Amino acid sequence: MADPKTDSTAESTESPDAAQPAANSGAEKYRFRVADYANLLKPRVMSLVVFTAFTGMALAPEPISFWKGLIATLCVAIGAGASGAINMWYDRDIDQHMVRTQKRPIPAGKIEPNQALVFGVVLSIISVVVMYYGVNSQASGLLLFTILYYVFLYTMWLKRTTPQNIVIGGAAGAFPPMIGWVAASGSFSLESGILFAIIFLWTPPHTWALALFRHGDYEKVGVPMMPVVVGSHKTKIQMLIYTLLLVPVTLIPGLIGLSGLVYTAAALVLGIVFLYHIVKLLKDADDKHAKPTFLFSILYLFLIFLFLLVDMVAFFPLPI
């Protein structure tokens, strides 16, 4: 093939569109860059966080204006994503050795660690400041506390030091509906605490199901997840205990007037199905049912909060 730098005929015979591939290559590279930064925000996790925060906002007794609600939702999304980016920065040393995480932007070499850290810190500050001036100081303070809790208490301390990491640290993922509630009402309440408790009790069986079928990953990098430390069977027993606590708590919204029959019936059915999965996993000697249990747990939480919204629209309160 002739070299354009040395072949005098190259310029005269080359098509006017010859530079197009290079331009397309640049655009493609730019798109990948944007996608890599988006992946730093853990979009799948963020989507559930945002949904639960929106639900808390919608259920609050005081209505929130469209623009304040939009600002609050975006701030929760940005804050959650920023926490995820900082988590990936800190965990880059173990992420590169785990099958589940080795394709993340940092271990894959697509984003430099320091760039990810700056990105996460800047977005964290933006989310808290905008929440403060655009919504209220209480929601801003709770968002800041949630970010710091997840980054420092869970990511940098608990995750690598105790098998109770997800029990204590998992509280960070339970705050979003409370943030939504406070964004709308400006105050905390028993109802927002119940929403917090639902996610708090859901987190251990959900995460330990993942840890069961990713046991080798965690063991390889020395993260003391419950199955690694106490074994599969004892982990499943604890999953059952948390689920037995979770199901009654999900029925409390109907008992205190936060929701009605539509939600209560759905929560009861979903709780029975969740318990079925946990019991089946407990009887499963080779942990093959761990992944189906994990996947159902995601659907379970989504449907619990969805039916809280559906019940609010249906307005069919449970008589007490």
Predicted confidence at residue 316, as pLDDT, reads: 46
Does residue 74 sit within a domain? yes
| Model confidence band, residue 27 (pLDDT cutoffs 50, 70, 90) | low
Looking at residue 120, which CATH number applies to its domain? 1.10.357.140
- Give residue 98's Cα distance to chain centre: 19
User: Is 78 part of any domain?
Assistant: yes
pLDDT tens digits, one per residue of 194-246: 999 999 999 999 999 999 999 889 999 999 999 999 999 999 999 999 999 99
Q: How confident is the model at residue 34 (pLDDT cuts 50, 70, 90)?
A: confident
Kindly state whether residues 109 and 181 are assigned to the same domain. yes
The one-character DSSP state at 112 is -
B/e letters for 19-57, b = 16+ CB within 10 Å, e = fewer, are: eeeeeeeeeeeeeeeeebbebbbbeeebebbbbbbbbbb
- What is the distance, to the nearest Å, from the Cα of residue 89 to the centroid of all Cα atoms in its chain? 16
Q: Are residues 253 and 132 in the same domain?
A: no
Residues pairing with 317 in the sheet: 260
- Domain, as residue range, for 226: 189-320
| Overall domain count for the chain | 2
Do both 269 and 194 map to the same domain?
Answer: yes
Q: What pTM was estimated for this model as a whole?
A: 0.87
What are the CA-CA distances from residue 19 to residues 1, 24, 25, 224, 288 (Å)? 17, 9, 10, 53, 53
Q: Is 204 exposed, middle or buried (0-12, 13-18, 19+ CB in 10 A)?
A: buried
Give dist(CA 318, CA 320) in Å, integer: 6
Same domain, 196 and 177: no
